[in-house]
């Protein structure tokens, strides 16, 4: 079985297969509606998440959005 290695918030993580971004976020325990994602150095707009397949050696920075006043 091929292993997928990627960097999430500076930490190397391993997954069993390529995965679409929203599924990865859920697998990592994030609520996709409450995060912003930097994908390989670029802010990835939410409209592209569904079609973004995470691949070997991708780099993600995931930031949780905190509301309040």
Q: Could you state, in order of their start, the residue ranges of all structural domains in the chain? A: 4-64
pLDDT for 16 equals: 87
- pLDDT value at 3 more than 90: no
Name the fold adopted by 4-64. Ubiquitin-like (UB roll) (3.10.20)
- The per-residue pLDDT of the chain, averaged, comes to 92
Per-residue pLDDT tens over the stretch 16-28: 888 999 999 999 9
Name residues whose C-beta falls within 8 Å of residue 33's C-beta, 6 or more positions apart in sequence: none
Q: How far apart are the first and last CA of the chain?
A: 48
Structure pTM? 0.87
CB atoms within 10 A of CB 21: 22
pLDDT for 69 equals: 64
Binned at pLDDT 50, 70 and 90, residue 38 comes out as: very high
């Amino acid at each position: 079985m091929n292993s997928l290695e990627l960097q999430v918030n500076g930490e190397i993580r391993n997954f069993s297969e390529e995965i679409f971004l929203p599924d990865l976020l859920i697998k990592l325990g994030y609520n996709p509606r409450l995060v912003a994602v930097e994908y390989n150095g670029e802010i990835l707009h939410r409209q592209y998440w569904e079609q973004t397949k995470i691949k070997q050696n991708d780099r993600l920075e995931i930031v949780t959005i905190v509301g309040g006043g």
